[in-house]
Amino acid sequence: MRGEPEADPLGDFLASNERFRALPEDTLVLPSHGEPFSTLHRRLDTLAGHHAERLDTLAEACREPLTGFEAAQILFPRAAQELTQIGFTVGETLAHLRRLERQGRLAVQPGPGEAVRFRSL
């Protein structure tokens, strides 16, 4: 795990989930929100698939270079319009952008001022 600015929080999250594969499928999971469940591997597959889809969506959108804020509007169109959600939406989007960069699917390019844009490779 690395600290900012090289951090890859989504990559860390997905890697930590994979460590749970060693547990039996019927392990009782007591999540911090939602109901308990005992379909661990299915849930891990669902989470991995969800994030893979989101990464693909974002990579496609970044064919035209986007700022983190612009990219957030792609992943979270409704939430990005609410000021109370902007920290979450941009933070979550930046985690996805960093993962794409680590995968070699995206490049960061300087923009005007201190802004950067993210472009698919």
Which structural domain range is residue 108 located in? 9-120
CATH number at residue 29: 1.10.10.10
Contact 74, 65 (CB under 8 A): no
Flag whether the pTM goes above 0.95: no
Task: Please report whether residue 116 resides in a domain.
Answer: yes
**Bridge partners of residue 109, in order along the sequence:** 117
DSSP string, the chain: ---TTS--HHHHHHHHHHGGGGS-TT--B--SSS--BS-HHHHHHHHHHHHHHHHHHHHHHTTS-B-HHHHHHHH-TTGGG-GGGHHHHHHHHHHHHHHHHHTTSEEEEE-STT-EEEEE-
Task: Please report whether residue 100 resides in a domain.
Answer: yes
Each residue of 15-50: pLDDT tens digit?
Answer: 999 999 999 999 999 999 999 999 999 999 999 999
Task: Please report whether residue 3 resides in a domain.
Answer: no
What per-residue confidence (pLDDT) applies to 79? 74
Task: Please report whether residue 15 resides in a domain.
Answer: yes
Task: Please report whether residue 2 resides in a domain.
Answer: no
Check whether 80 has a pLDDT greater than 80: no
Q: Which of 2-6, 92-96, 108-112 is predicted with the least confidence, judged by mean pLDDT?
A: 2-6
Check whether 52 has a pLDDT greater than 80: yes
CA dihedral 120, 110, 5, 64 (to 10 degrees): -20
Cα–Cα distance, 76 to 53 (Å, whole number) = 14
What per-residue confidence (pLDDT) applies to 32? 93
What's the structural domain count of the chain? 1
6 band by pLDDT with thresholds 50, 70 and 90: confident
Return mean pLDDT, the chain: 91
Nearest Cα residue to 90 out of 108, 107, 74: 74
Q: Which of 4-8, 95-99, 106-110, 114-118 is predicted with the least confidence, judged by mean pLDDT?
A: 4-8
